[in-house]
Amino acid sequence: MKEKKHISLADVKRDNPFTVPENYFGQFAAGIDGQIAVRRTPIFSLPKRWLYVAASVACLLAISRAGYITYQNDKAMNTENYELYVMSQVDETEVIDYYLSEQDSKSK
Amino acid sequence: MNQTESECLLLLNDPRKRSQAFSQLVRLYQERIYWHIRKMVLVHEDTNDVMQNTFMKAWNGLDGFRGESQFLTWLYRIATNETLTFLTSKRNKEQAQTDDRDLFLANNLHADPYFNGDELQLKLQKAILTLPEKQRLVFNMKYFDDLTYDSMEEILGTSTGALKASYHHAVKKIEKYFEENE
């Protein structure tokens, strides 16, 4: 009886068993062209180092401006609070008395 | 490095001609990259997705290409990483069991209109899927693409000795699979 022969790698056809849709590669390349056209590098492009410097300066300016505005607001608030404090310390009747006595002295 | 590649690489440094040069390089190498990915993921649609990611990553990372290796080798490296990432996410989605490795990838190969292989070729694909991922890469690159061990060393970052051993083990495992699944 003939012994059954085992399959070996050499028995398998070595050609590519896979295929692609018709004109796939032409369409793929055109698709990539379309995508890179959208994200095209601008003709005028600054070196990266200068972009980092510009970003840092812009960041510093923004922080300084925010700090200055906060300082101005605090200052205005303090002045307003001081005026309110002074007013709260003065008695209304005393102000009226003072006003009337001033009027009296003028009429004399 | 062939003349077309070296001309394209020079043009890549000119911002006005960069996209034109890259487009040429895509046309020059897309088929090799496609087959490299396809033999790992098997399905055309998946291959197409991984190809898109590969070339867009290459375009966005052109500044990272320093010309120390060939452009094709660099593309192979990106494609390999993208393929392995894709396979990991696909495996997670399929919740594949570790003992059947990536055999689920061959499930639809019978009905795939873009697979023209005979029974033995289908069996070979299934046998390849039983190999560990890296061994599969090595087997495909050597057996189908006939890449030199030196090129494979550059792409995969593995020594020639280890690659030779890996290929040898892969062949043994495939023949054992044939024997057990006759």
Tokens of B67: 């010309």
Is A75 inside a domain boundary?
Answer: yes
Please give the residue range of the domain that contains residue A24.
Answer: 16-107
Q: Contact A9/B124, CB-based, under 8 Å? A: yes
Please name the residues in contact with B47: beta carbons below 8 A apart, sequence gap of 6 or more: B34, B37, B38, B41
- In this predicted complex, what is the ipTM? 0.85
Q: Which residue has the higher pLDDT, B19 or A79?
A: B19
Q: Contact B31/A32, CB-based, under 8 Å? A: no
Is A66 inside a domain boundary?
Answer: yes
Is A36 inside a domain boundary?
Answer: yes
Is A41 inside a domain boundary?
Answer: yes
d(CA B22, CA B63): 12
Chain A CB contacts of B26 under 8 Å are: 28-29, 32-33
Average pLDDT for A14-31: 94
Number of compact structural domains in chain A: 1
CB count in 10 Å sphere of residue A45: 9
pLDDT, residue B77, reads 95
CA distances in angstroms from B33 to A11, B51, B56, B67, B109, listed in the order given: 27, 7, 13, 19, 21
Per-residue pLDDT of chain B (182 residues; tens, 9 = 90+): 565 778 888 888 888 888 999 999 999 999 999 999 999 999 999 999 999 999 999 999 998 887 777 899 999 999 999 999 999 988 887 765 544 567 777 777 877 889 988 989 999 999 999 999 999 999 999 999 999 999 999 999 999 999 999 999 999 999 999 998 87
Half-sphere exposure of A62 (CA within 13 A, CB side): 6
d(CA B20, CA A37): 10
Is A77 inside a domain boundary?
Answer: yes
Q: Contact A18/B23, CB-based, under 8 Å? A: no
Chain B CB contacts of A34 under 8 Å are: none
- Categorise residue B42: left if φ over 0, alpha if ψ from -120 to 50, beta otherwise: left
Q: Which residue has the higher pLDDT, A37 or B60?
A: B60
Contacts 24+ apart (CB under 8 A), A103-108: none
From the list A7, A14, A17, the residue facing B116 with the nearest CB is A17
pLDDT band at residue A14, thresholds of 50, 70 and 90? confident
Show me where the domains of chain B are located.
118-182
Whether the full predicted model's pTM is greater than 0.90, yes or no, is: no
CATH topology of domain B118-182: Arc Repressor Mutant, subunit A (1.10.10)
Q: Contact A18/B174, CB-based, under 8 Å? A: no
Chain B CB contacts of A43 under 8 Å are: 15-16
pLDDT, residue B95, reads 65
Instruction: Look at the block and give the residue holding tokens 């190969």.
Output: B109
Is A69 inside a domain boundary?
Answer: yes
pLDDT, residue B3, reads 59
- The burial of B153, by beta-carbon neighbours within 10 Å (0-12 exposed, 13-18 middle, 19 or more buried), is given as middle
Chain A CB contacts of B22 under 8 Å are: 36
- B-proximal residues of A, 4-43, CB under 8 Å: 4, 6-9, 11-14, 16-21, 25, 28-29, 31-33, 35-37, 39-43
Chain B CB contacts of A35 under 8 Å are: 52, 56, 59
